[in-house]
Amino acid sequence: MRKCPKCGYIRGPKDDEFCGPDECPKCGTIYIKYQAYLAQKKEEEEAETEPAEEVHEATESISQKTCSKCGDSFDSHLFGVLPWNCPTCNRRYWDQQIRQKQNVILYATLAILLVVVIGIGTLSVHSSHKRREAAQREQTEKLRIHREREADRIRAEEERAAKLRTQKEQEAERIRALQEQEEMNKLIKTESLAAYNALKKIDAMMLSGSTYRNYSKAVEDARHELDKLSTYLDQSKNLELIFDFYQEAKHLWQTKMSGDALRLCEEYRRIIAEKEFSADPTSKDACLRSCESFSETRDKAKRSELYKTVKPCVEELQRVLWSEAAISMKAFEQRWGFP
C-alpha cells in the first residue's frame, strides 16, 4: 500500500480503477513530483543553515583579538569602551596586523561602497539623460507625425475643395451648354419649321391623294423652303434626305407621264442602284429584267408588252419612295421634337 506524502492517504487496491498509480486518489498529488519538491525544499533549508554557521564562526574569529605584548586573546566586544587597550596588560599596541587587515577591509569596503554609489549615481544620471533624450525624440517624432497628418489633412481638404470647385464648374458648363443647345434647338426649330411644314404637306397629299400638278407644286415649295436653311445644320441634312425621296418620286411620275419607256427604265434602274430602302420593291428583279430586255429589243410590239410590265413596277417604286419619306419624317419628328 502506498501512502501519499502530502495528505497521508493510504492507497487501496480499488483506487487503481479510478486514477493512475502515481496519483493520490484523495488530493490528486503526483507522488514523484511532490517527493522531488520535498527533496528540493530540504536542500534549500540546508543551504540556508550552513552559511549562517560559517558567518557565526567568522564573526567569532573576527571578534577574538590577541594582544601583541602579552599574548592573551580576548573578545573585543568585552572592552568596547577602550577597544584598542588590552584588558590584561592595558597596552594599546595589541594585534596590529589584524587591526591593519581590518582597516584595509574597512577602507576597501568604503571604497567599494563609494564606487558603487558613484556608479549608481552615474548610471542614474546617464539613465535619466537617456530617458530625457528618448522622451525628446518621442515628442519630436509625435510632433513630426502630427504635422504630417495635419499637412495631409489640409492637402486632402484642398483637393476636395478643388475637386468640388471643378465639379461645380463642370456642372455650370454643362447647364450652360444645355441652355445654349436648347436655345439653338429652338432657333433651328423655328427656322426649319417652314421647310418641315412644306414636307409635311407633301406627306398629307400622299395620304389624301393628289394630282401631278399639285404634287409638283408642293415639291417646288419644299425646295424653296429648304434653300433658305443653312446647309451645315443637322436638321437641314435630315430634311434634305426626306425631300430627296419626294423628288425622286416626282421624277418617276414625270417620266411615266412622258411615255418614254426607255428613259423610264433608266430612271428605275438608277433609283434602285442609288437608294437604300427599308424594304425593296417586290417586283424589283422582274422589272430590272424587263428593262434589260426593253433596251435590247427593237420590236415595237414586244416593247409595248415590256412597257406594260415596267409601268406597274414604276408605280410600286413610287409608293416605296413615299413610304420611305414618311418613315424618315417620323424619325425626324422624334429626333428633333417636331409635332
pLDDT in tens, 197-225: 899 899 888 888 888 899 999 999 999 98
Q: Does 311 map to a domain? A: yes
Q: Are residues 72 and 198 in the same domain?
A: no
Q: Does 267 map to a domain? A: yes
What does the alpha-carbon distance between residue 243 and residue 228 come to, in Å, rounded to a whole number?
14
Q: Are residues 205 and 321 in the same domain?
A: yes
Domain count, the chain: 2
Rg (CA), the chain: 64
32 pLDDT tier (thresholds 50, 70, 90): confident
Of 36, 70, 94, the residue at which a domain comes to its end is: 94
What does the alpha-carbon distance between residue 146 and residue 143 come to, in Å, rounded to a whole number?
5
How do beta strands 73-75 and 64-66 pair?
Answer: antiparallel
Of 40, 70, 94, the residue at which a domain comes to its end is: 94
Q: Are residues 194 and 87 in the same domain?
A: no
Q: Are residues 195 and 83 in the same domain?
A: no
Burial class (CB in 10 A: 0-12, 13-18, 19+), 95: buried
Q: Are residues 197 and 332 in the same domain?
A: yes
Q: Does 314 map to a domain? A: yes
Q: Are residues 319 and 203 in the same domain?
A: yes
Of 62, 94, 126, the residue at which a domain comes to its end is: 94
pLDDT in tens, 295-312: 777 777 777 777 778 888
One-character DSSP codes across 121-146: HHHHHHHHHHHHHHHHHHHHHHHHHH
**In this predicted structure, what is the pLDDT of residue 107?**
81
Residues 6+ apart with CB under 8 A from 27: 4, 6, 7, 9
Q: Does 223 map to a domain? A: yes
Q: Does 167 map to a domain? A: no
**In this predicted structure, what is the pLDDT of residue 86?**
67
**In this predicted structure, what is the pLDDT of residue 67?**
64
Chain centroid to CA 188: 47
Q: Are residues 90 and 213 in the same domain?
A: no
Percentage of the chain with pLDDT > 70?
81
pLDDT in tens, 81-121: 445 566 666 665 445 555 666 677 878 888 898 888 888 88
Q: Does 164 map to a domain? A: no
Q: Are residues 327 and 202 in the same domain?
A: yes
Q: Does 43 map to a domain? A: yes
Q: Are residues 82 and 209 in the same domain?
A: no
Q: Are residues 196 and 319 in the same domain?
A: yes
Q: Supply the range of the domain harboring residue 210.
A: 190-336
Q: Are residues 332 and 212 in the same domain?
A: yes
